[in-house]
Structure 1
């Protein structure tokens, strides 16, 4: 729940309120309230503005997840799938795009402008397995490049994940991360460690 709250918005609201109270207290001759309003309000307001400038909004789900798929997620989702889903559906600060580090490591695009942009995500069942689908707008990275990187993507996103690439329309690519059954007992490790 907290990851759905914008720290920038919170800073702007609290900072704005405290600053207004500070100005009101200044003109009403309440020195203590005036100092509190200015010393806490203005820095919070400026911090909120700085965060707003560096804010990356959560990626929306393109369609609601059915209860059946939610049950599959609970049973089969790998730690990497859960981490990716949680990371892209929360506010981020100081990044130009969701999953930018992964896209750079996988060499999908040469500059920030060339990198595919995550537009949405959805969860589905693929032949009885849990699948997380990342929907990218990819005008500068053609489908052929995505296809060439399929094995690299599967290794990067961790064990027990099969990757499929689809192009639903021009300049769009769907990256499907499909959970596979574990071969042995043991902990799963992710290639997406922070």
Structure 2
């Protein structure tokens, strides 16, 4: 019987770690040292679309760890797209309010890219693009939400956390719920079964 390979999540994201924890995947965490802004700026200058940009970021995070650590390394990134524009995480509660007011009553997509390396070489990629339909909101409702949710939402690219109070902002989600959270779980679990990390 072969010994299962070590699994590393190349991310500082607590929600991605929680997703793997919930599925009882054995893993460790190493936060990658990657200049995301530089990658995004170069991709934009090169005319690379947002899906490819998300994958470039996932690959960079993956390889930043996989280049020096053996085993299976998982890198992931998420980009929010609304009306053809990409959005980064809001830097302030004022920006978060503006983001929600801009996207309320409309739909947007979250591009979730995953890259997985085995012993320093990328062996698998996955791209998901769920669509989220935000309900119509008044400014008063948004103010209440921001006050109750607090600055923790600044860790979310859309200025919401769908797994918490942010669920109240939406009418519908079409696509993988885990991709909305930041890590498409089901295709990743299938890969880990093929790699004999998981028995079932």
TM-score, normalised to structure 2, is 0.26
More strand per residue = 2
Pair member with larger Rg: 1
